Structure 1
Amino acid sequence: MDAILDVLIKYYLPILVTIISIVTLYKGWVFPSDRFFDQRVKISKFVHDLYKISGEKYLKDLSVEYGYSALTRESFLTTEQRRALLSSVDPMSDLESFRKCGSLITINPFPFGFMWVAKRHNYKSYRLFVKFMMLNFYFSGAFLLMLPLTYPVSVPDSIFIKYTNYNPAVQVGVCVFIIVYGAICAGYGLNGLSRIAIAEKLKNKYSH
């Protein structure tokens, strides 16, 4: 056990710190949606300043369009769809919900409501199947996350003995791989469940 910890501290910890540093530098600790918002706001202000200089009305309209896009945090809706979303009875909640599940549903401006992007989502049986699959991803990932802590009781003796015969570097590598893969699976499943649940709630909220 001490040998494994020594390898972990000596080799894998510096690599992990380096990766985190690179990701932090690249992301700038700013979420993608916030970066998108900031970019659209800057473009909207720039275009509006240009309109003040030129007096051309289409620049004013374009500035407003970029402002709408900043609020809705997307670049695929039409002007009518954005206006409908921003003028809903509960715009703050609807904007936040749509931001999380916008890939699954789209907006019907007149009368205001939401529709599934893929027609197969109209069928409740299909949505139940998707939820079932996402639950499988989640629980499989959670199991993998816990696996390194429960090796002696959760894997066959023959596999565990073979694992303990590896050198410490390989053992740590296997543990890291299982944990990372488990985290990805669990996160994917949880995100999928959340998105489809939010989409269903938002669609039912304005069902006519």
Structure 2
Amino acid sequence: MALIIMEVLKNLSPLLPVIVSIIGLRAGWIYKRDKVFNSRKAISEFSYNLYKNTNDENYKRIAEEYGISALTKDSNLTPEQRRILLRSKDPVRDIDNYSKCQKLLYISDNSTIFQWAKKRYRFWIWRKSVEIVSLIIYFMSGFVVAMPFMYSTMFSSGLVEKINKSSAMLKFGLAAYCVLMGISTGLFFLHKLSTINIAEKTIKSNR
């Protein structure tokens, strides 16, 4: 059974880097924004219901703040920064973009609302260097994922013979390790690439 599975995977190996890249591109744009929005929306609605039942202005204020926090989907902004974000040129797009790359952006009350949170990212040469390195590692991770299925063409004949003589369990363990490490590393650097790109566009659009 194990031999059949390995044979099927070997036949699919030419498509593996493409499949991994597609999965990575898709997963790189998935964020926890909906979860943050839903939890804060529920608290806002609950607080407002308490306000209607008690007429306590504190509940009304909490409902308002949680409502704004749900809209901005942030985790570390002050109340004033949230309101600045709502007053941006395109609040729908900017809130969505900020929620994806808030670790890279700082919101100020200057004419340029969005600024780089880390000083080194303010330099174009630094950002491009990070993007190039991330892109190289991303594609290298694709080869790591494909390695268990293409090792016969990648390694020397002596090493290939040793691998072939290994137990099916050892082969499976090594293959699983390469696939998991390759995918996790690729997704990490893909996320870094996408957040830098989104942050750059958000800053430029609000100048």
TM-score bin (small chain) = 0.7 to 0.9
Q: Does 1:74 align with 2:74?
A: yes
The offset of 1:158, in angstroms, is 2.3
CA distance in 2, matches of 1:87, 1:70: 15
Please give the per-residue CA displacement for 1:65-96, whole angstroms capped at 9, x wherever unaligned.
10011111123111222122223221111111
Aligned counterparts, 1:1-208, within 5 A:
2-5=1-4, 32-207=32-207
CA distance in 1, matches of 2:2, 2:87: 62
Amino acid at match of 1:48: Y
TM-score, normalised relative to structure 2: 0.81
TM-score, normalised relative to structure 1: 0.81
Q: Structure 2: which 5+ residue stretches go unaligned?
A: 7-30
What is the RMSD of the two structures over their aligned residues, measured on CA atoms?
2.2
CA distance in 2, matches of 1:103, 1:80: 18
Please give the per-residue CA displacement for 1:150-185, whole angstroms capped at 9, x wherever unaligned.
111112222212111111111111111111111111
Instruction: State the identity %.
Output: 32
DSSP-derived class of the 1:150 partner? helix
Aligned length: 185
Amino acid at match of 1:184: S
Is the contact made by 1:40 and 1:66 (CA closer than 8 Å) also made in structure 2? Answer: yes
Q: Structure 1: which 5+ residue stretches go unaligned?
A: 8-30
Q: 1:66 to 1:112 in 2, by over 3 A?
A: farther
The offset of 1:125, in angstroms, is 1.7
Structure 1 runs of 4+ aligned residues shifted over 3 Å read 2-7
DSSP-derived class of the 2:111 partner? coil
Please give the per-residue CA displacement for 1:96-145, whole angstroms capped at 9, x wherever unaligned.
11111111102123435101111111111211221122113201111112
Amino acid at match of 1:145: V
CA distance in 2, matches of 1:112, 1:66: 26
CA distance in 1, matches of 2:188, 2:37: 25
